[in-house]
A and B are shown apart, each in its own frame.
Chain A
Amino acid sequence: MEIIKVRDLSKIYTTYKRGSGFSAALKSFFKREKVTVSAVDGVSFTIEEGTVCGILGPNGAGKSTTIKMLCGALFPTGGSIDVMGFSPAKDRTKYVRRIGAVFGQKSQLIFDIPPVDSFAMNKAIYGISDADYKKRLDDMTELFDVGDVIHKPTRVLSLGERMKCEFIMSMLHAPKIVFLDEPTIGLDVIAKNKIREVISRMNRNGTTFILTTHDLEDVEQLADNVIIINHGRKVFDNSLDKLRTTLGSKKMIDLTLAKPFTGSEINGVAVKPGEDRLRISLEVDTEQRSITEFLATLSSTVDFTDISVRSLPMDEIITRIYTAG
């Protein structure tokens, strides 16, 4: 069942252009040049209930603006959003009761007091019963292993500890949908894995997640579907498997050569230089030619000491989609 339906969504900002330096600052004090920015431009998509959807895009692509409109925090300039039958910005008070959100760069915890006091505030705001609150808090603190952490002032917590507490804060009211805007930004591997583990577990229990991220591991480990936005427009919307094959069935062959290579191609395939002159990579489209045949030809024409074959990395795929978009 579709839980989110977005049609022709757009957001236009008006801002002011200003040059750098003192003279530009002085000039802009008297006259400012108005600039219209189309942050989101006619984006449409749907998201199925119980899935994890990753929204990707380069910096300034419109991901965060999209997620803020989905949360009801920003009014769209045009188009429509339907989440669980609500129009997020218009029905904000009723709607946000049913969602959770974690903004990696904006804390919802109160800085000077322990997270457990911020949780207690949300308990009152969301009207969570004592029994539900205790059960959920116990479950989450155990899951994140932050039993002691939640009693320390937020300002003394590490980024990883704070993010875990942000998660708990946003999930105490058992939301059906959780929006995550760069939830693992700046975290170490252990903290990232813990957060991913909790997201997977909650998703298995039926919670729908929508996340924006620059960390492709988040997407590879969590997402069922991926939406890519670039320059405010949707450039990809499909499953993660489809994303992996969107540029064709390509394989990367990494070679360590016996002696330096000076040419530009091998057997009709362009050579990508590696860390030094002995290491090169070849990108082979296996829909165009058999990998077995190519490797056989390669071993007879090139003298190498090591070889590895791998799929086209996700960051390479994403970069090409960004560049094309």
Chain B
Amino acid sequence: MRYIKIYFTCLRIAFSQAAAYRADFLLGNIMSLLSNILFPLVTVVIYANGASFPGWSMWQVLLIQSVFAMSTGLSSMVTQGVMWATMDHIREGSFETVLLKPLPPLFYLTAVNFSTGSLGLFIGGLVMTVVSAVKSCTSAAGVPAFMVLFLAGAAVLCGLDLIMAAISFKWVGNSRIPEIFDSISEFGKYPAGIFPKAVKVLTAFIIPVASVGFFPASALLGEVEGYMLIAVIPCLVFLAFGIWIYHIMIKRYEGVGG
């Protein structure tokens, strides 16, 4: 109960911070939404020119990409702020101000760094998901499996953010590393059937980015397969690993000269 109260107090403060720069808040949300909405436009162009992903209609592919955008928005709101805040604290040697709070550092950073700038992406992804789902004639029967797989996908992205943050305790100034993982996560935006088997296994079980877009969209389309549900396990392992490695790396914090 205490932690819920703290979380919502910090959330209120995060919104106060965002409100301090209204234009930045609005522009940030619009830009983040636009950059993620423009990507599905490529799909629209592909289909408009007669090409396609075999066995997938345009709205079905857009559904995958919309779910992916929504998942990215959710994880960004929760943990992306933790990643950037950790990197900043380590570089500036101010992580002790986090350790002075009588809270688990990860909880504190998650609470105070709620990324309001990703709200637009989440809401935009949600709207696109609903529209794509309606156009793809999905049924409500797939919603429970969708929810499980969607949360598993968001867990993967949160785990990635935490791993990046943890690396910065040792490797100060690793701000380009997230770009590598962003590239890997791109695999989750497409139907897995278009990839070779090795990539399918890698994106399902090793770095389970297929759970970010493709698996939950498949659930909504009523095409969920057993291995997709099994892939929830590596997703949770990914998140658990991110949390574990973050806590381990805190002990390596050395600050900077004072």
Contacts and interface: CB of A to CB of B under 8 A. Distances in A.
Given A106-B96, A181-B258, A97 B102 contact: yes
Nearest to A155: B20
Contacts of A60: 257
Contacts, number: 86
B6 A96 contact: no
Nearest to B21: A112
Contacts of A153: 20
A108 B16 contact: no
Given A68-B96, A75-B251, A127-B2, A121 B10 contact: yes
Residues of A in contact with B, size category: 35 or more
Residues of B in contact with A, size category: 20 to 34
Interface string A135-163: 00000000000000000010000000000
Interface string B1-27: 010011001100100110011000000
Interface in A174-226: 181-182
B100 A96 contact: yes
A113 B254 contact: no
B39 interface: no
B94 interface: yes
B97 A106 contact: yes
Contacts of A123: 9
B16 A93 contact: no
B16 A73 contact: no
B94 A106 contact: yes
A60 B83 CA distance: 30
Contacts of A167: none
A243 interface: no
A264 B237 CA distance: 78
Given A72-B99, A73-B96, A127-B2, 8 more contacts: A64-B258, A71-B100, A75-B251, A93-B104, A110-B13, A113-B17, A121-B112, A125-B103
10 contacts: A64-B255, A71-B96, A73-B95, A73-B100, A74-B253, A96-B101, A107-B97, A108-B97, A112-B17, A125-B102
